[in-house]
Amino acid sequence: MQIVILDGYTANPGDLSWAEIEALGPCTIFDRTADADIVSRVADAEIVLTNKTPLSADTIPRLPKVKMIGVLATGVNVVDIAAAEAGGIVVCNVPAYSTPGVAQAVFALLLELTNRTGHHDRTVHEGRWAAGEDFCYWDGDLVEVAGLTLGIVGYGQIGTAVARVGRAFGMQILANRRSGSGLIEGGGDYVDLDRLFRESDVVSLHCPLTPETKELVNAARLAQMKPTAYLINTARGGLVNEADLAAALNAGRIAGAGLDVLSVEPPPATNPLLAAKNCVITPHIAWATRAARRRLLAITAANIAAFRAGSPQNVVG
């Protein structure tokens, strides 16, 4: 079976090997693929892998040889699942590969907001410490996370991992998920969103982007938060109304935000969060540790092998 990888660069810019996938059949790898080139590049392929290159309801019917679409990610919003099913195409994703890295990134963002490590490092290198009169200095409040309440929206594998790290820091846990109620194993409470936003000192988003969760964080939700609270988003940019968040940050209605995702990536220069106060932004890297990407490729290879053997795994839809 011929395999085409439409946008392999972000998953593997050259520091890993494609060998496990290449061993499964003739394989053509493109760093990136424009929408206009999808059909011609996939014309003879039976298996197509995509990370962020969209396979839409208009495109999928024009790929008559494709039998399997593998998404090099957990989220599958880049593929029109209904169109794939109508064409008899199996769609597989890669669940859970990035859980440790995303949990780590949540606290990297939070600790930057509470300790301002990057800011203080820059001031030291600019000569401020060397020119100082005292043995130390700090800008703004240094906030201790022990004893704070961590509210987790979406309590799947990543949310659970974030809670474990939070407990290790001495934080109290609140969580919200569609089917959750009562006490959380390991400590904490399932609560409704209103209580979570009101009582949390840190709100961390880990739910999928759906019509129901689109712009879940908006002016009304932000108004529920404590003025000392932080918002962390390592899930999907569309969960947040970015204009509302920028306004809340600039007005001091919340203390800060740490974001690894934005609604449009890469963002236009006009995105209001790029100039917002106390807003730490990283370029969608929470998933991208080398260990996580190695797991991503290994699970993708296993997905292809299982499909070829007639027992597809990690099937979406």
β partners of residue 205 = 153, 233
Q: What token pair was written down for 224?
A: 């529920």
Q: Is 120 a catalytic residue?
A: no
Measured torsion, CA atoms of residues 154, 156, 160, 166, in degrees rounded to the nearest 10:
-20
Report whether 217 contacts 237 (CB < 8 A): no
Question: What is the DSSP pairing of strand 149-153 with strand 47-50?
Answer: unpaired
Q: Cα–Cα distance between 153 and 213 in angstroms, integer?
A: 10
Question: What is the DSSP pairing of strand 27-29 with strand 189-190?
Answer: unpaired
Catalytic residue (choose from 41, 119, 177, 284): 284
Catalytic residue (choose from 116, 221, 236, 293): 236
Q: Is 265 a catalytic residue?
A: yes
Q: Is 253 a catalytic residue?
A: no
Q: Cα–Cα distance between 183 and 174 in angstroms, integer?
A: 9
**Per-residue DSSP letter, 134:** S
β partners of residue 90 = 68
Residue 49 host element (H or E): strand 47-50
Residues with a known catalytic role: 236, 265, 284
